[in-house]
Amino acid sequence: MSQKNHKTENLGNWKPFVEQLHKEWEKVGNEHVVENHELKEKIWKGIDRKIFSPRRYILRAGWAVAAALVGVMFYWGYKVSERHVVGNLAYMEHSYAEGWMYMLPDSSTVWLEPDSKIRISSEFLNKREVWLTGSSVFEVKKRVNSDFKVYINTACIEVKGTVFSINQPTPDTSIIALYEGAIDFIGKNQSLISMTPSQRLVYDVNTGSTHVENFSGNIQWVDGNYRFTDIRIDNLMDFIRKKYRVEMELGQGVNHGLLLTGTIRNDESVEAVIEKICFSSQLTYKKNDSYYLLMK
Do the domain assignments include residue 182?
yes
151 and 54, same domain (yes or no): no
What pLDDT, on the 0 to 100 scale, is given for residue 20? 44
239 and 255, same domain (yes or no): yes
What pLDDT, on the 0 to 100 scale, is given for residue 165? 95
23 and 145, same domain (yes or no): no
Q: Which of 172, 198, 214 is the last residue of a domain?
A: 214
> Does the CA dihedral 29-264-218-197 come out positive or negative?
positive
- β-strands 173-180, 163-170: how paired? antiparallel
100 and 162, same domain (yes or no): yes
What pLDDT, on the 0 to 100 scale, is given for residue 26? 42
Name, in order, each residue with C-beta under 8 angstroms of 208's C-beta and a sequence gap of 6 or more: 154, 187, 188, 189
Q: Which of 171, 188, 214 is the last residue of a domain?
A: 214
Phi, psi dihedrals of residue 65, rounded to the nearest 5°: -65, -45
What pLDDT, on the 0 to 100 scale, is given for residue 283? 96
Do the domain assignments include residue 2?
no
Q: Angle 270-281/41-51 helices, nearest 10 degrees?
A: 130
DSSP string, 126-184: TSEEEEEES-EEEEPPP-TT--EEEEETTEEEEESS-EEEEEEEETTEEEEEEEES-EE
70, 167, 174, 191, 246 from 200: Cα distances, Å: 36, 11, 10, 17, 17
191 and 236, same domain (yes or no): no
Question: What's the longest Cα–Cα distance across the chain?
Answer: 64
| Number of domains observed in the structure of the chain | 2
251 and 143, same domain (yes or no): no
The domain in which residue 228 lies consists of: 7-71+218-295
C-alpha count within 13 angstroms, C-beta hemisphere, residue 219: 27
**Secondary structure of the chain: what % helix, strand, coil (to 5)?**
25, 40, 35
Closest CA to 137 of 77, 180, 173, 97: 180
202 and 137, same domain (yes or no): yes
Name, in order, each residue with C-beta under 8 angstroms of 287's C-beta and a sequence gap of 6 or more: 271, 293
86 and 207, same domain (yes or no): yes
- Rounded CA separation 224/57 (Å): 12
222 and 190, same domain (yes or no): no
28, 108, 260, 266 from 112: Cα distances, Å: 27, 13, 27, 9
225 and 197, same domain (yes or no): no
Burial grade of 165 (CB within 10 A; 0-12, 13-18, 19 or more): buried
| pTM: predicted TM-score of the whole model, two decimal places | 0.71
What pLDDT, on the 0 to 100 scale, is given for residue 94? 75
Give the CATH number of the domain where residue 66 resides: 3.55.50.30
pLDDT 10s per residue in the chain (296 long)?
A: 333 444 444 333 334 433 443 444 344 333 333 344 344 566 666 666 655 555 454 545 554 444 443 333 333 224 445 555 545 567 888 777 777 888 999 999 999 988 899 999 888 999 999 999 999 999 999 998 889 999 998 999 999 889 999 999 888 999 999 999 999 999 998 889 999 999 999 999 999 999 999 998 899 999 889 999 999 999 999 999 988 889 999 999 999 999 999 999 888 899 999 999 999 999 999 999 999 999 99
Give the CATH number of the domain where residue 144 resides: 2.60.120.1440
Q: Which of 214, 244, 278 is the last residue of a domain?
A: 214
CB-CB neighbours of 153 under 10 Å: 17
Say if CB 227 and CB 211 are below 8 A apart: no
203 and 230, same domain (yes or no): no
195 and 120, same domain (yes or no): yes
Closest CA to 154 of 113, 124, 185: 185
What pLDDT, on the 0 to 100 scale, is given for residue 50? 58
Q: What is the DSSP letter of 113?
A: P
